[in-house]
């Protein structure tokens, strides 16, 4: 993949772009296997590769420049604004969107936030696309509600120009720090979530909900998890840190008893809707802390699926799993180092199989799926 901004030294997000893609995959697989124990055998499956360009479904753009000539992209450490509207990671469908957004910023009088002077209102623009139907979600991250009415009044023009914008919202982030979003979200459209579909499983994306940014590889990850679980012939599972339900819904059928736990109420709302659309009757999604839920339950499922943030699962949850001993643990991780640390604490389990999913090409990051099996006492 060629990138003018990388070649010019303006953007370093794709830190491995100078490496051939085949070499990137080799380095990631070597990094993963070097972390795993060598004292017993397990299946080391071939990595799932990504498209090298146009694989992202989301653009996160810092807004800088002036209200008349906004720049969408990033700011360097030296404070230089870099336009990333032609970033090769974005799909072609994003290309005509950005010029219209720049015009809208001027029409609505959304002054870009100046970090040094602590002036202005518009901090970020976040654009997400559904690959299943081409609709989009647009979020404006503002410092305050000061320009909210101006934005509302200008909105009909934007909606006429970009009818694919199914969801438009404003997020209020008042803190003078490099924090992407705040707690308050104001939905400006009748529709409140974006509809997506992976492997014929309906999924929904809320403005503040987490969703994978590489839909092709994410779809493969979910499908693989579903296939592995079905091979185990189980009827009862927990999906911890379940988000909008992608993993659990791929693993369940009409008879499966599935409990999904996620701290975010918005994500749980989406998961419940997906389960309803699939006609699953033995599914329960709850907005709770995953560790707290597990520790408070004595009923042990056959399989526990965990998909934690980068810090991994807690020591308390590892202790619970060791004590209660579900037959299987399916661990999906975006940080292999914390995953391996957790597996070392899960002393009653052995690794059955591992597979790398290249969710983040041109970087050192990747996703990994690991099946753990309870060892005979």
Section 185-189 average pLDDT: 97
| Range scoring the smallest mean pLDDT among 54-68, 183-197, 276-290, 339-353 | 276-290
Contact partners, residue 78, CB within 8 Å, separation at least 6:
none
**CA–CA separation, 106 vs 109, rounded Å?**
5
Q: Is residue 362 situated within a structural domain?
A: yes
Check whether residue 304 and residue 224 sit in a common domain.
Answer: yes
CATH code of 139's domain? 2.40.50.1070
The reply to whether 47 falls in a domain is yes
Q: Does residue 108 belong to any structural domain of this protein? A: yes
Residue 75 shares a structural domain with residue 142: yes
Do 171 and 292 lie in a common domain?
A: no
- Supply the pLDDT for residue 349: 95
Same domain for 129 and 272: no
- Residue 335 CB coordination number (10 Å): 17
> Is residue 277 included in any domain, yes or no?
yes
Tell me the C-alpha distance between 260 and 255, whole Å.
15
Contacting residues for 38 by C-beta, under 8 A, at least 6 apart? none
Same domain, 33 and 69: no
Domain of 365, CATH number, reads 3.40.50.150
Q: Per-residue b/e over 70-106, b at no fewer than 16 CB within 10 Å?
A: bbbbbbeeeeebbbbbebbbbbeebeebbeebbebbe
Kindly state whether residues 158 and 226 are assigned to the same domain.
Answer: no
Residue-wise pLDDT tens digits, 215-242 = 999 999 999 999 999 999 999 999 999 9
Residue ending a domain, among 128, 161, 192, is 192
Residue 377 predicted with pLDDT over 70: no
Hunting for tokens 């690959």 — which residue is that?
A: 131
Which residues participate in catalysis according to the annotation? 334
If asked whether residues 218 and 366 sit together in one domain, one would say yes
- Residues in CB range of 330: below 8 A, 6 or more apart: 225, 228, 229, 247, 303, 304, 305, 306, 369, 370, 371, 372
d(CA 209, CA 267): 6
> Are residue 48 and residue 79 in the same domain, yes or no?
no
Confidence of residue 337 (pLDDT cuts 50, 70, 90): very high
Local confidence band at 192 (pLDDT 50, 70, 90 cut-offs): very high
Give me the numbers of helices (H) and strands (E) for the chain, helices first please. 10, 17
**Residue pLDDT, tens place only, 26-38:** 999 999 999 998 7
Q: What is the pTM of this model?
A: 0.94
Print the domain residue range for 228. Answer: 4-52+214-374
Residue 208 lies in a domain: no
pLDDT digits (tens, 9 = 90+) for 272-298: 999 999 999 999 998 877 677 777 776
Domain membership flag for residue 201:
no
Give the pLDDT of residue 110.
Answer: 97
For residues 304 and 287, membership in a common domain is answered with yes
Q: What pLDDT is recorded for position 43?
A: 94
Q: How many domains, in total, are found in the chain? A: 2
Mean pLDDT of the chain: 94
């Amino acid at each position: 993949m060629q990138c003018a901004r990388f070649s010019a030294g303006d953007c370093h997000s794709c830190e491995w772009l100078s490496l051939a893609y085949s070499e990137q995959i080799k380095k990631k697989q070597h990094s993963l296997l070097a972390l795993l124990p060598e004292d017993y055998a397990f299946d080391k499956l071939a990595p799932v590769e990504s498209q090298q360009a146009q694989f992202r479904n989301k653009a996160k753009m810092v807004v800088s420049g002036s209200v008349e000539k906004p720049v969408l992209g990033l700011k360097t450490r030296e404070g230089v604004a870099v336009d990333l509207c032609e970033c090769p990671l974005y799909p072609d469908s994003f290309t005509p969107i950005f010029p219209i957004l720049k015009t809208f910023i001027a029409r609505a009088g959304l002054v870009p936030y100046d970090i040094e002077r602590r002036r202005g209102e518009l901090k970020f623009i976040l654009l997400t696309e559904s690959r299943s139907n081409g609709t989009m979600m647009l979020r404006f991250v503002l410092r305050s509600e000061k320009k909210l009415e101006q934005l509302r009044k200008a909105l009909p023009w934007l909606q006429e120009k970009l009818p694919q914008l199914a969801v438009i919202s404003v997020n209020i982030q008042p803190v003078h720090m490099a924090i992407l979003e705040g707690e308050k979200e104001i939905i400006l459209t009748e529709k409140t979530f974006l509809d997506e579909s992976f492997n014929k499983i309906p999924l929904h994306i809320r403005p503040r909900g987490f969703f994978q940014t590489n839909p092709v590889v994410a779809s493969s990850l979910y499908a693989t998890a579903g296939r592995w679980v079905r091979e185990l012939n189980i009827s009862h599972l927990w999906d911890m840190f379940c988000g909008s339900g992608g993993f659990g819904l791929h693993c369940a059928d009409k008879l499966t008893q599935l409990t999904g736990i996620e701290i975010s109420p918005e994500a749980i709302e989406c998961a419940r809707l997906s389960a309803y659309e699939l006609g699953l009757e033995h599914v329960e999604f709850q907005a709770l802390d995953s560790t707290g839920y597990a520790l408070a339950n004595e009923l042990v499922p056959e399989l526990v699926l965990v998909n934690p943030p980068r810090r991994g699962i807690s020591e308390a949850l590892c202790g619970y799993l060791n004590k209660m001993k579900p037959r299987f643990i399916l661990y999906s991780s975006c940080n292999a180092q914390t995953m391996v640390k957790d597996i070392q604490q899960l002393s009653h389990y052995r690794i059955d199989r591992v597979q790398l999913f290249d969710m983040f090409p041109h970087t050192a990051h990747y996703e990994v799926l690991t099946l753990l099996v309870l060892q005979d006492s």
